[in-house]
Chains A and B, each alone.
Chain A
Amino acid sequence: MSTLFWEEEIETLPRAGLQSIQLIRLQHLIARVYTTVKPYRDKMEAAGVRPEDITSLDDLTRLPFTVKDDLRDNYPFGMFTTPMDEVVRVHASSGTTGKPTVVGYTEKDINLWASVMARALTCAGAHRGDMVHNAYGYGLFTGGLGAHYGVEKMGATVIPVSGGNTKRQITIMKDFGSTVLLSTPSYALNLAEAMDELKVDPAALSLRVGIFGAEPWSENMREEVERKLNLKAVDIYGLSEVMGPGVAMECLQTTRGMHVFEDHFLPEIIDPDTGRVLPPGEQGELVFTTLTKEAFPVIRYRTRDISRLIYDTCECGRTLVRMEKVTGRSDDMLIIRGVNVFPSQVEHVLMGIEGVEPHYQIVVERHGNLDTMLVQVEVSGSVFSDEIRVLERLAKTIEAEIKDMLGVTCKVKLVEPRTIQRSEGKAQRVIDKRNI
């Protein structure tokens, strides 16, 4: 099978050519951000670097990092580079505390996003004529709408089915003849389970390829999804701060890494402790600089995702660097049913409930294909009551507030004081029992 490209010239450009494009774009970006965004200018001034100092791609390391807290400090729109009347869309993802991280797009950004997403779809072997079943959530989450516009751009048919209502999804797959599935890998396994219950044979469906992302998944899970849904499973990478889905995409020829669309998203790998850039091929934290985005570019954004960059030429013919499947995080963020959860958000919720002390522990487990989150909260004297209903109401209140703030359903279990394991005086906030 011959490889198909969406933008063949740029996707197969020799590295020298690609680097010269990256440099020009980087210089324009830095000059623009320096003049339009005070938080960036302040950080650059503090680091003693000016836009004219960027004369080669190596000078990138002179620029300060951007972290999630920078976005929180400038909530909601303080890091946007364009006036709001040029922003045609916003999305949001989990922040580290109560406030979400907000990102914005100009009309040109939306087009760019659709283009990189079309590239990603083509990379996975999707094409005009495909029936693309988009089960990513539509809404503030970038997954649904991000993928949606890419499918339309590519010229395939998009079914904007969004998440949930699994039985209906299977009926649609059967009746509409879905050929490409977009979802989280755990939802794909849910679908497989539901098909089994409904006695629907996946082999009788038209599914050919599944594009799975928004949460970490292993090679074992790939094998399981492929077997159970009778399709080829490929990995997609993205995060809202950089763009959304379509930052990097696995091709059909290799399972060793996803091609980073590095003419738009410049990757680096750093040591998460020292911030030092690591030599090619070493494992570390992935950092991105967006080269072409207008409304919300990021400079050296620390993703906290652990990966490595692979510069070997790929069999598919793409010269774009590949990033290995994300193997972990350099912070404590959890991904539960596709939702990003920071323990600090749970703490924030608890602090907001009168009398509740922030002594808690999150236990994440996987039952079947479903992740469950249990929040254990120590009962202090100030919330204790001799009446059962008072304590049950307290647990329900915490559950509702967490659902409200984090968008994830959890169970709250009240526990005795000092029962939460403490190692070296520091409480262990998360126990992740999932074997992903």
Chain B
Amino acid sequence: MRVEQIAVFLENKAGRLSKITGVLAENGINIRSLSLADTADFGILRLIVDKVEDAERVLKEGGFTVGKTNVIAVEVPDKVGGLASVLKIIENAALNLEYMYAFVNKSGENAVMIFRFEEIEEAIQVLQDNGIVILSGAEICAL
């Protein structure tokens, strides 16, 4: 049920993002989704890719600081109030949502959101109990 996410440390300077995407392209790795979080001094690029192990290796070889984290991919109804209904469940269960971002492709009629929780197992349980569909890494890469 978990999806492996690659996180890369980035200094805020010209050309770094392009270097990362270039390294991935050269190695035939497809980026399925990404999110960039930044401060005045640095940024963290989070990536969902089709070949996680390869991506981690080639980025490390390229001199980047790379981390791997588990996130979950959640189907969200693509209509008004769709995300709100999922977030309500999370709020009611007092789960700590660290961050989230949208997945590019749709899963059938639904949108897909990437969620990062501190307590990932508990979050999966709560969401499933509430009838929310959680996609595996293989599933979202096939979208």
Contacts and interface: CB of A to CB of B under 8 A. Distances in A.
Interface of A: 379-381, 384-388, 391-392, 395, 413-419
Interface in B59-94: 60, 63-67, 69
A388 B38 CA distance: 7
Closest 7 A/B residue pairs (Cβ): A386-B7, A386-B69, A384-B67, A384-B65, A379-B9, A379-B65, A416-B11
A418 B10 CA distance: 12
Given A381-B67, A391-B42, A391-B44, A414 B9 contact: yes
Contacts of A416: 9-11, 16, 63-65
Interface of B: 5, 7, 9-11, 16, 37-39, 41-42, 44, 46, 60, 63-67, 69, 98-99, 116
A417 B67 CA distance: 13
| Chain B contact residues, majority secondary structure | strand
Contacts of B66: 381, 384
Task: Identify which of B37, B42, B60 gathers the most chain A CB atoms within 10 Å of its CB.
Answer: B42
A380 B44 contact: no
B44 A417 contact: no
A415 B44 contact: no
B63 A387 contact: no
B46 A386 contact: yes
Nearest to B37: A388
Given A416-B11, A419-B11, A386 B5 contact: yes
Contact of A417 (B38, B64, B69): B64
Given A416-B11, A419-B11, A386 B65 contact: no
A417 B98 CA distance: 26
A419 B63 CA distance: 9
Contact of A388 (B11, B39, B60, B69): B39
Contacts of A380: 65
A34 B44 CA distance: 61
A381 B10 CA distance: 13
Given A379-B9, A386-B116, A417 B63 contact: yes
Contacts of B38: 388
B92 to A, nearest CB: 23
Contacts of A387: 44, 98-99, 116
B65 A381 contact: yes
Given A386-B5, A388-B44, A414-B41, 6 more contacts: A379-B9, A381-B65, A384-B67, A386-B44, A391-B44, A413-B42
Contacts of B9: 379, 384, 391, 414, 416
Contacts of B69: 386
A385 B5 CA distance: 12
Nearest to B43: A388
Contacts of A415: 11, 42
Contacts of B5: 386
B7 to A, nearest CB: 3
Contacts of B64: 416-417
A391 B98 CA distance: 14
Nearest to A380: B65
B20 to A, nearest CB: 11
Nearest to A416: B11
B57 to A, nearest CB: 13
B42 A384 contact: no
A417 B65 contact: yes
B82 to A, nearest CB: 25
Contacts of B99: 387
B36 to A, nearest CB: 11
A398 B83 CA distance: 39
Contact of B67 (A385, A392, A418): A385
Contacts of A386: 5, 7, 44, 46, 67, 69, 116
A325 B65 CA distance: 46
28 contacts: A379-B65, A380-B65, A381-B60, A381-B65, A381-B66, A381-B67, A384-B7, A384-B9, A385-B44, A385-B67, A386-B44, A386-B46, A386-B69, A387-B44, A387-B98, A387-B99, A387-B116, A388-B38, A413-B41, A414-B11, A414-B42, A416-B9, A416-B11, A416-B16, A416-B63, A417-B64, A417-B65, A419-B11
